[in-house]
Amino acid sequence: MNNDLSSYFEDPEFKDILAKYEGMVENHTPTYFDAEELTDIAEYYASQGDEQKAEDAIDFALRLHPTNTDALVFKSRSLCIKGKLSEAYQIMNLIEDQNDREVKFLKADLLIEERRMEEAESIYQELAASEDESFEVLLDIFMTYMDANQMDYAEKWLNKIERKGYNETNSQKYRDALCDFCMTFGQPERATHAFQLSLDELPYSVPHWNGLAKCYLAQNEIENAHEAIDFALAIEENNVEALEVKGFCYIQNENYEEALRIYHQLLPTSKVPSRIYALMVKCYMDMEKANEAKAMCQEWLKKCPKLTSFEKSEIFSYISMCCFNLNHPEEGMKYIDAALDLEPSFRGAILQKGMLYLQMNQKQEAVKLFQKVLDISPDDEQSEILYNVANSYFFLQMYPETIEWCEKIIRNYPDDQIEALHLTACSYYNMLDIDLCLKYLALIWHKSNNRFEDEYLNDKRFKYMFANITHLIKKDGL
């Protein structure tokens, strides 16, 4: 397995092959390519997020080389990613050498997709043993579990690499693997140290400066993130990832105009324009410019005709949210129904439809959908869903209902109480019940080590409350 084809994609030899292929496609001129060349082209398009071009390239490879193992593996794996498991197995079974290394990895991929983890693990154990548990095979297995978002199994194989003597101080590949693991599974502090060690040895590595900046962002160390990304841009001023991260730093500073300036600069040449459009929509939504966000979504749909069904559903959901913010629930309902026609089980869209029902004062229909989302969501997402529902009631100035939904969080999710307590305190303030507002502010004060966090003091929903009740807080000695 090749863990990093990105450097090869920059090779002049590959660029010549890609140009030759794209010329063939554009001019409809039959041209011969090796299976390996076409598989690399498919890998390239996949890395750029262009699923259709990747599929076209691998289908062309299989027309020329119908029994090629690498092409069949790619085809099977792409079907697996799309959830077409039976078809993926059919393609895999066409491969002549079922003992090929890549085929074994493919078998494990399919098993993981079916959550048959013990069987997948058995294949990996055999593979590792057959290669004397070399660093390369252990790293390949680790990366497979990372791609599948399997934290426990990924950590198990990362530990195996450590036991072979590789660690942060003696192996750059290990450091990169560790950073990938830590950033994926919410350990930015540990990743920060590994990135810093990498930069001691590779001070001009833009990807590592970008990674360090992302670590700082994850820890809300915005100034350090700015500094790290400025180093990256000093080395390569037009680096796309660095510019994206710089834009996100501006978003965190609420400097949306500068973020939008960067994203407008990136958009015309971006190989993944959907990501840029999503960030621009976020900027406009955070600026409370729903009309601009809505227009950007419509441009996104127009300029990106090869969007997947889920991507279209997400965009329709964003437009529906714009309609909600503009108090146009009937129009919003049309878009959210379009989203659910494409993806009936899209929980975010179901929740959004409930919010629109709420705005139309159809409260029973709204509650049914809110409960449906809770019923089909995993336990670790329950408090976030409850908060989103409470915040919807708050937006619509339905304060008793806001308090009712916040109480569900306060009672059942003690680690997630602070946001709900703020929303409850502000609801009582808006209902002119100052005594109960003070009661909940006191709870916040004590749970936050006798202070109010800046993120809440500066939150536009709560600023007015804090500004007008400060004298009471001081008087009562909260």
Give pLDDT, residue 83: 83
The arithmetic mean of pLDDT across residues 151-157, rounded, is: 95
Q: What is the 8-class DSSP label of residue 4? A: -
Q: Name which of 212-226, 324-338, 453-467 the model is least confident about.
A: 453-467
The arithmetic mean of pLDDT across residues 189-213, rounded, is: 95
> What are the chain's domains?
167-253 (1.25.40.10), 400-478 (no CATH)
The arithmetic mean of pLDDT across residues 195-215, rounded, is: 96
CA trace torsion 80, 84, 90, 96 (10° rounding) = -20
Give pLDDT, residue 3: 42
| The token pair that represents 434 in the structure block | 């100052």
- Tell which phi-psi region holds residue 378, choosing left (phi > 0), alpha (psi between -120 and 50) or beta: beta
Question: H or E stretch including 318?
Answer: helix 309-325
Q: Compute the distance between CA of residue 29 and CA of residue 22 in angstroms, rounded to an integer.
A: 10
- What's the one-letter identity of residue 429? Y
Q: Name which of 23-37, 38-52, 198-212, 238-252 the model is least confident about.
A: 38-52
Give pLDDT, residue 2: 42
| The token pair that represents 331 in the structure block | 């129009």
Q: Compute the distance between CA of residue 283 and CA of residue 254 in angstroms, rounded to an integer.
A: 9
The arithmetic mean of pLDDT across residues 214-240, rounded, is: 95
Q: Is the pLDDT score of 242 beyond 90?
A: yes
| The token pair that represents 168 in the structure block | 């942060």
pLDDT band (50, 70, 90) for residue 82: confident
Q: Compute the distance between CA of residue 340 and CA of residue 414 in angstroms, rounded to an integer.
A: 33
Give pLDDT, residue 460: 77
Give percent of the chain with pLDDT exceeding 90.
Answer: 78
Q: Compute the distance between CA of residue 440 and CA of residue 327 in angstroms, rounded to an integer.
A: 30
Nearest to 265 by CA among 307, 237, 234, 293: 237
Q: Report CA-CA distances (Å) from 36 to 25, 40, 54, 60, 61.
A: 18, 6, 14, 12, 9
Q: What are phi and psi of 146, to 5 degrees?
A: -65, -45
Give pLDDT, residue 1: 38
**Mean pLDDT of the chain, nearest integer:** 91
Q: Compute the distance between CA of residue 235 and CA of residue 109 in angstroms, rounded to an integer.
A: 38
pLDDT digits (tens, 9 = 90+) for 59-69: 999 999 999 99
Q: What are phi and psi of 19, to 5 degrees?
A: -65, -40
Q: Compute the distance between CA of residue 307 and CA of residue 204 in angstroms, rounded to an integer.
A: 36
Give pLDDT, residue 7: 66
Burial (CB count within 10 angstroms: exposed 0-12, middle 13-18, buried 19+), residue 24: middle
Q: Name which of 63-77, 164-178, 222-236, 437-451 the model is least confident about.
A: 437-451
For the whole model, what pTM was predicted? Answer: 0.75
CA angle 427, 428, 429 (to 5 degrees): 90
The arithmetic mean of pLDDT across residues 403-423, rounded, is: 94
Q: Compute the distance between CA of residue 34 and CA of residue 204 in angstroms, rounded to an integer.
A: 36
Higher pLDDT, 233 or 271: 233
pLDDT band (50, 70, 90) for residue 471: low
First to last CA, the chain: 60
Looking up tokens 């833009």, which residue turns up?
A: 206
pLDDT digits (tens, 9 = 90+) for 277-324: 999 999 999 999 999 999 999 999 999 987 889 999 999 999 999 999
Q: Is the pLDDT score of 343 beyond 70?
A: yes
Higher pLDDT, 270 or 265: 265
The arithmetic mean of pLDDT across residues 122-133, rounded, is: 95
- Cβ contact 322:297 at 8 Å: yes
Cα 197 off chain centre by:
26
Higher pLDDT, 463 or 229: 229
Q: Compute the distance between CA of residue 258 and CA of residue 249 in angstroms, rounded to an integer.
A: 10
Q: Which residues contact 278 (CB under 8 A, 6 or more apart)?
A: none
Q: Compute the distance between CA of residue 348 and CA of residue 338 in angstroms, rounded to an integer.
A: 13
Q: Name which of 163-167, 236-240, 455-459 the model is least confident about.
A: 455-459
Give pLDDT, residue 442: 87
Q: Is the pLDDT score of 478 beyond 60?
A: no
Higher pLDDT, 446 or 325: 325
Cα 16 off chain centre by:
33
Q: Which residues contact 335 (CB under 8 A, 6 or more apart)?
A: 316, 317, 319, 320, 323
Give pLDDT, residue 476: 54
Q: Compute the distance between CA of residue 216 and CA of residue 239 in angstroms, rounded to an integer.
A: 19
pLDDT digits (tens, 9 = 90+) for 434-443: 899 989 988 8
Give pLDDT, residue 289: 96
Q: Is the pLDDT score of 94 beyond 70?
A: yes
Nearest to 320 by CA among 296, 307, 337: 337
Q: What is the DSSP string of 198-228?
A: HHHH-TT-HHHHHHHHHHHHHTT-HHHHHHH
Q: Which residues contact 19 (CB under 8 A, 6 or more apart)?
A: none
